[in-house]
Amino acid sequence: MTAVHQKLALVIVLLSLAGVLWAVSRASKQTASERLRWFGWLTVLAIALQAAAGITLAATGSRPADATHFVLGPATLLALPLAMIAARVRTPRAASYILAAGWAVTFVLALRDVGTGGLTS
């Protein structure tokens, strides 16, 4: 389970970086992208799977190296969905900037999660 949790962490960091770049690109063109929204929800699914793996690890006695991981993990799970919900009722350009911000927060939190997650058993 540890290997799954670690590999998903890398996937989430890369997906988040791609999301930031894509959303900024859409914002600069002042257009929205339905594909970007779907990509967002697929990333949220990956983060949810990551959370399930982390909960399983914690329940079986494996703890992260830093307890802030228990705060950063849930924050990572919430950042992108909140941005996606906020972006729904905006102009395409504003929505793209909101999504870019949500992706950026997700990216930074995911990187920080990786830094605090080293298992101590």
Is residue 31 pLDDT above 90, yes or no? Answer: no
3-state secondary structure of 26: helix
3-state secondary structure of 31: coil
Phi, psi of 69 (to 5 degrees): -55, -30
Summarised one tens digit per residue, pLDDT across range 41-80 is 999 999 999 999 999 998 998 888 888 999 999 999 999 9
Summarised one tens digit per residue, pLDDT across range 93-120 is 888 889 999 999 999 999 999 888 765 5
- Whose CA is closest to 9, among 41, 49, 39? 49
pTM metric for this prediction: 0.88
* H-only helix segments in the chain: 2-28, 34-59, 69-87, 92-116
